Structure formats: structure tokens, C-alpha cells
Amino acid sequence: MMKKNSPEKADKILVIKLCCIGDLVELTPAMRALKTSGAKVHHLCLPGMKAVSGMIPFVSRTIEFEHGFGGLCRTLNRIRAEKYALIINFHRDIKSHVFCALAGGWTAGFSWGAGKMLLRRVFPFRPELHETERYLEITRGLGFSDAGNYTEISVPAAQKTIIRIKEGRKAGLFPGGGKNAGTIMMTKRWPKESFIKTGKLLMKRGYDIYVFGGEMDRENVEAVCGGIGKASAVITGLEDFVYYVSKMDLFIGPDTGPLHLASAAGTKTIGLFGPTSPVNFGARGKHAVNLWKPAECAPCYEPGTVHKREFLNCRDNTCMEQILPEDVIKAVETLEKAGSAEKNG
């Protein structure tokens, strides 16, 4: 249990963050802070996010949120039975705040609309901050000490897809993404032609090329592989993706979940940003470079106004087209030099 008004003394904590991949990865520094205090950290998420939650080393137990009224009641009953000393809601909507109020325990989260009256402690939502820093502001405010602001996941063993990975330097490309539960944002994608040229330039630098994607990305993956000529397609589920991307010396992709997974798995990453800003959403792994050459209208996806969904009106992702393959190669050179310095240091 927890001493009165001392949330940092909680022995069992529930974290509510239902989705999506990038958001869960960016939450890992806050989860690390909670775990470092000695508490058991449980995580409530959507069924589709169970695999991601399972790769977060600071989560002791994953609880799946059940849909429908009956599922909601069952989920709520399971949570109430756990008698959590502290429940932290990292969402900012009235429904999740109501859920917290009904779950019992000492509750905390963002101050957002009328829902803020339903939580025991609320913290300002500061849209100018990086997403990771916003989450950490809550854990700091509750008395938990930071244990690093870098993202981190555990690499699982390969499970279903068997792919031969060559020796030597390996670069992964991700030409898909932009699809989440409830949101399709294809403007995040970098042109296939740019990936193809980048792949060819990397081959000249001695890299073997692997083009990653899920089943929904198959068309793009095959087009990029075909354009490069000598590239291997890696079409897998999430856990196998993390396993194979951890074998890469380099990973290049837009601001989607796989970029953040790759970065958190320890792979050197180059993130391509356009409609979103790396100031707010940049990959936070230990070896991450984030490129952004914003158009006048960028960023159109901003934390403070995202609920208005105006970013969905964009039909011209000039902001992504402005990033050139040559820009990416310069970033590759930066990472290579940093790697050489580490070895020689």
C-alpha cells in the first residue's frame, strides 16, 4: 500500500496508455522511473498493443482492455480487484478520466477539460515539450526520480518468420507506416523513389539492404526492393520486426511506430519528419538522428491541437519530399563517425 499523499511510496502501480506503438515506446522512460522506485508496474492497453507492452522491460504485467460495455465492466472489475495504490492515466480525454475515477485508488494524469476534476493529482499538458518529457513531468511531479530519458525495449527471440541476415554492414529501410488505430496519416511517408535512391547509395557504401514492413506495407516493400535491385524484403509481425531490426547497423524510416521500436531496441536510426516535429516526437534511442526540413505549413500534427484532426486535410506532403537522399547519407556519415569515435575512445 501507500502512505497518505505519498504516491512515490506506491508498491503497485497501474499505467493507463491504450495505444499506439510510438506512444508506448515514448512512455518507457516514465515507466523506468516508476519501476526504479521498487514498485510493480502494470500496464493497461488495447489487445493489439499486448506485444509492444510485453517488450517493455519495466512492465510486470499487461492487462488487455476489453471492448464493449460488458468488456468495459470486466476490465474495471479486474482493476478494482488489484487494489492499485496508484493509477496514472497518460491519456487526456474525459472517458479515460472517468474510467480512472471508477477504478479506485490514488489517481493522477494530465489536466484536460472537465475530466481533471476526477483525478486526485493533475499536471499541465505542455504541448511544446517532447512527448517523453511530458510523461516524465507527471512521474517527477509524483515524486519519482528520473532514471534516464532514453527509450528502451527488450529484444524478443525470433518467433515465426525465418530470414537469413548476412554478415557485414546492414541497413534497414521502412517505406510504409502512417496507419494507426483510428488514424491513417499517409503524409508521413517518404517517397518510394527516395528510398530506392537511398538504398542504392548505401549499397555503394558497403551496406546490404533490408526493406521492412508489415503485411499492410507489402506493396511498398516490394516496390522499393524491386527498385533497388539487390535488397531483401522483411515482412513480419511486431516481435519478429524488433528481433531483425536489432541486427541492423542502421535503420531509416518516417515518424511511425517501427522507427521508435528500432531506436528503443538500440539500433542506430535516422528518422524522417515532416507533418510532425522531432522537437515533439523525435526518436529518443541512444543513437538517433532525426531529420526535418519543414514546409511553411509544418508541423500540421501538433500535440495541442491534434484532437481537431485538421492534419488529415493535407493532401500534399511537400514537407517529406523536401528531405533528399543526400540528406540521409550525410546523417549516415554522422552516425558512422560517432560509431568510430566510440570504438576508438
Domain ranges of the chain: 7-141, 170-344
Q: Average of pLDDT values for 171-175?
A: 98
Q: CA-CA-CA-CA torsion for 294, 297, 299, 303, nearest 10 degrees? A: 170
pLDDT at 342: 61
| Average pLDDT of every residue of the chain | 91
Q: Which helix (H) or strand (E) holds 171?
A: strand 170-173
pLDDT at 115: 80
Cα-only R_g, the chain: 21
pTM above 0.85, yes or no: yes
pLDDT at 147: 97
Give the homologous superfamily in CATH for domain 170-344: Glycogen Phosphorylase B; (3.40.50.2000)
Instruction: Answer whether CATH 3.40.50.2000 is correct for domain 7-141.
Output: yes
Positive or negative, the Cα torsion across 236, 239, 243, 249?
positive
Q: Average of pLDDT values for 136-147?
A: 97
Q: Average of pLDDT values for 88-94?
A: 92
Distance CA 263, CA 256 (A): 11
pLDDT digits (tens, 9 = 90+) for 192-217: 999 999 999 999 999 999 999 999 89
Residue 5 has pLDDT above 60, yes or no: no
How many Cβ atoms are within 10 Å of 237's Cβ, its own excluded?
Answer: 13
Could you check whether 7-141 and 170-344 share the same CATH topology? yes
pLDDT at 186: 78
pLDDT at 1: 44
pLDDT at 299: 85
Residue 86 has pLDDT above 90, yes or no: yes
In this prediction, residue 283 has a pLDDT band, given cuts at 50, 70 and 90, of very high
Query: What separation in angstroms does the CA of 277 have from each of 73, 88, 128, 174, 282?
Result: 38, 26, 10, 19, 7
Residue 31 has pLDDT above 60, yes or no: yes
pLDDT at 230: 92
Residue 19 has pLDDT above 70, yes or no: yes
SS3 173: strand
**Which residues touch 269 (CB under 8 Å, ≥6 apart)?**
250, 251, 252, 253, 259, 262, 263, 283, 285, 287, 288, 289
Residue 8 has pLDDT above 90, yes or no: no
Cell of 298: 509544418
Q: Average of pLDDT values for 50-61?
A: 98
